[in-house]
Structure 1
Amino acid sequence: MDLKLEVVVLPVSDVDRAKDFYTRQLGGRLDADLPVKDGYRVVQVTPPGSACSVIFGEGITDAEPGSAQGLYLIVSDIEKAHEELTGRGVEVTGPFHDDTGIFHQAGETGRVPGAAPERASYGSFASFTDPDGNGWVLQEITERLPGR
């Protein structure tokens, strides 16, 4: 059985502001903007190159705006991604790597400025939040582990 992650629902407070951020600043493709009825609107955006979309809107979730954390976008060049997003007005922290050389720890614990030594695949990160505070992490993957 294949299980494919298709959609992530994001809690936002201002649908149009979120739509602008995910399409204009992140460069995502607007797949749908459906004002179904009063209090129920569905907006779907797909990040460039992604098979998984994000959905936000009105009447979509009871979660607090900004409460989605640890959302990952994979990039092939962390420095280029940082530069491009910063150029689009997104405040991006990093690049950074973890002092353990493994996955990054919670919050800012163990963060070391700069890309991972020798740009080890899976080892370099950067982060940003959307206007509501939903937290995203960019992770550089240049060579996938076997079976991935």
Structure 2
Amino acid sequence: MKYSKHQALILCFITTILVLSPIFQNWVDSPKDSFPLSYYPMFSKERKTTYGMYYLTAYDKNENKYIIPYRFAGSGGFNQVRRQIAKAAKSCNAQEFVMKVAEKVADRDDHPYADLSRIELVKGYYHLENYFKKNDTLPVHERVIALCSIERR
């Protein structure tokens, strides 16, 4: 099918309007995002200064802190296990989850795992701008969700 210049211009205009139409969702009280026409809320949404995430920490007898790798918490890739940790933290099974991780840590006899005495599931809050621009990787605040001592056999 052959288009005239006039038809091609109209088609381009309609396509442009269609692609740009979701931008108006940025000014609506309750915006609606949809596929394939998105207003890209992941880029346009206002972010908080701090970001909270769940993770596992452990301490040795001298209170030295260690971050427990995600592989102890579940199977799958990093993001999949991260979601499993968050789900456990928000559920009533957080204590049971931490106990299972503590059992896995107790089975290890290499450093630093052999020296660890307790494990905690925490929600750490990080200042995103400082984290990325100033390399300030320490949390602003941590809240303990569940904890468990590591019992060796």
Q: TM-score range by the shorter chain?
A: under 0.3
Q: Greater strand percent: which structure?
A: 1
Q: Greater helix percent: which structure?
A: 2
> TM-score, normalized by length of structure 1?
0.28
